[in-house]
């Protein structure tokens, strides 16, 4: 697969940057897509210099659904792997009082990512190969009072990826769902997190790279999260509703 192109949507995040380096180090050309993409010019230069691959920048707004088809058309080549690392945490306190803000979180984590991956899935299917990667969240496995607008939007994305995988399972296109758990990024900066549960962006990149090679379906980055989420999901609702997680 060396030499083939990897598209990274939401390329401005720490996780996306780590993913770009990981795939570039394996010889893949990189397409970085984000809003105000010119701010990523230093990353473009850096990835190209370090790894000797072609790196291109593409203006992309996940919320601008109408522009998605043109965006895909405008890529230098239809990528072999497309990774959606778009995400917006928002503030739960705001999301429960200001519905505009809640809608923005839901659209950014679910509507936009699902639509662009849906579009790419069709193009991949038509071409006859491709891998789609959705960076979802463990927050999408059960809604919690402290984070449920974000969680619900990620839950929608998880269900979308699972359905897409099911639809494409008999064909050559593969879908990978990533549930990273806590990651040390700008999004989690300043949050008091138990450090043993926190992965580095480079850990996520390594795990995603390995998973796309092995064509895994759903991965957690730190294995302990599988256990944690199994317990959280197994709690009966009348118990769960009284917890503060």
Q: Which residues bind another protein (CB under 8 A)?
A: 14, 39, 42-43, 45-46, 49-50, 186, 189
Residue 113: CB minimum distance to another protein, A: 22
CA distance 107 to 101: 10
Q: Bridge partners of 219?
A: 178
Nearer to another protein, 39 or 167 (CB): 39
Residue 50: CB minimum distance to another protein, A: 5
Nearer to another protein, 13 or 153 (CB): 13
Residue 17: CB minimum distance to another protein, A: 9
Q: Phi, psi at residue 171, to the nearest 5°?
A: -110, -170
Nearer to another protein, 50 or 215 (CB): 50
Helix H or strand E segment including 151: helix 148-168
Q: Phi, psi at residue 55, to the nearest 5°?
A: -125, 125
Of 80, 32, 85, nearest to 60 (Cα)? 32
SS3 call for 112: helix
Is the C-alpha dihedral spanning 213, 200, 132, 156 positive or negative?
positive
Residue 1: CB minimum distance to another protein, A: 22
Residue 51: CB minimum distance to another protein, A: 9
Nearer to another protein, 23 or 124 (CB): 23
Nearer to another protein, 21 or 174 (CB): 21
């Amino acid at each position: 697969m060396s030499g083939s192109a990897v598209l990274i949507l939401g390329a401005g995040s720490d996780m996306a940057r780590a993913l770009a380096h990981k795939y570039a180090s394996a010889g893949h050309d990189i397409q970085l897509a984000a809003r105000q993409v010119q701010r990523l010019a230093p990353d473009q230069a850096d990835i190209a210099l370090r790894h000797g691959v072609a790196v291109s920048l593409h203006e992309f707004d996940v919320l601008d659904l109408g522009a998605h088809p043109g965006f895909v058309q405008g890529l230098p080549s239809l990528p072999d792997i497309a990774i959606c690392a778009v995400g917006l945490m928002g503030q739960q306190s705001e999301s429960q009082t200001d519905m505009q803000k809640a809608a923005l979180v839901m659209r950014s984590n679910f509507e936009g990512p699902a639509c662009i991956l849906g579009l790419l899935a069709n193009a991949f299917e038509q071409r006859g190969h491709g891998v789609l990667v959705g960076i979802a969240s463990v927050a999408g496995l059960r809604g919690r009072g402290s984070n449920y607008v974000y969680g619900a939007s990620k839950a929608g994305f998880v269900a979308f990826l699972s359905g897409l995988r099911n639809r494409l399972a008999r064909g050559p296109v593969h879908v990978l769902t990533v549930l990273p758990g806590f990651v040390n990024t700008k999004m989690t900066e300043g949050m008091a997190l138990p450090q043993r549960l926190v992965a580095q962006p480079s850990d996520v990149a390594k795990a995603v790279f390995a998973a796309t090679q092995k064509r895994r379906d759903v991965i957690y980055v730190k294995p302990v999260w599988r256990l944690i989420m199994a317990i959280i999901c197994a709690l009966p609702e009348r118990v769960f509703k009284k917890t503060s997680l």
